[in-house]
Amino acid sequence: MSVIEAPTTSTIHSGAAHAERVTTTKLRAMKGRGEKITMVTVYDYSTARIVDAAGMDAILVGDSLGQVMLGYDSTVPVTMDDMIHHTKAVVRGAQRALVIGDMPFLSYNISPEEALRNAGRFMQEAGARAVKLEGAAVAPTVERMVAAGIPVMGHLGLTPQSINVFGRHRVQGKTREAAVRILEDAIRLEEAGAFALVLETVPTPLAALISRKISIPTIGIGAGAGCDGQVQVLHDLLGWNIGYTPKHARKYADAANTFAAAFEEYIEDVRAGRFPTDDNSFPMDEELLEGLDA
């Protein structure tokens, strides 16, 4: 099959084509100025180019790819090799946004040495500029990674890799005891050196309180507008899923139905002989073919 040359950034969107690369320091400065941070999950080169050119501040190569790209029922089966493969592709497509690799289940929990080695793979092998870890028990690991020169984003609240402990996806921190624990965990991760913190499905007042209490940016998903930024799963944002949109998401497009309609029209045109036409084909001097069908 032929390969079509990828469009230049300017042909996709010119808004961020010449902006300087986003860094962890820049995200912290944005919080200081009260500027909201934007982040979305991305899993491939082509989408990364579009998202990057649109001006997104950060891209998370999320282990949510297990569900939306690989068809698993949770993030638990996702491997390091899966994450490295997809992160490489995203890095090739993102010229400006900060690319963060999501460390998968058991890639950082077994031993500090293995955690550091796996985080190093994201940086050296895949080209990510930071990694993300779930939970607060990993604070010593975060501290060790930061000391080794690896920027780390934390993740509190609903941590999807712990779905078998939680039993189901539900809001975290609704009681005073749980709220205090999440707040203390946020402070603990900041002290360990995390440069930012994802808060997932945490009550809005609690997320706003945490955002005020810590100096590093908070990135909310289902945690209200009081966070310093927001992250969404690409497929939720684009309506690139069938039959379900989480409460924390807003559909900015209807990709699933748009794609389905395009595929149906393509099928009909091919079967009816309406595609390809001369406009989609390549001519030649037919005299050159004389006698070849004898």
- Can you tell me the distance from the alpha carbon of 128 to that of 278, in angstroms, rounded to the nearest whole number? 45
Give the separation between CA 102 and CA 180, rounded to whole angstroms. Answer: 26
Backbone angles phi, psi at 212, to 5 degrees: -75, -30
Contacts of 290 (CB under 8 A, 6+ apart): none
Task: Render 27-82 in DSSP notation, one character per residue.
Answer: HHHHHHHTPPEEEEE--SHHHHHHHHHHT-SEEEE-TTHHHHTT--SSSTT--HHH
Distances (CA, A) of 127 to 44, 61, 91, 119: 14, 12, 6, 11
Tell me the backbone φ, ψ of residue 152, rounded to 5 degrees.
-125, 130
- Indicate if 287 belongs to the active site: no
- Please tell me which residue in 200, 264, 268, 290 is annotated as part of the active site: 200
Tell me the CA end-to-end span of the chain in Å, nearest whole number.
29
CA angle 197, 118, 141 (to 5 degrees): 50
Q: Residue 151: name the closest of 125, 189, 178, 187 by CA.
A: 189
Give me the numbers of helices (H) and strands (E) for the chain, helices first please.
12, 8
Which residue, 221, 223, 216, is CA-closest to 234? 221
Catalytic residues: 200
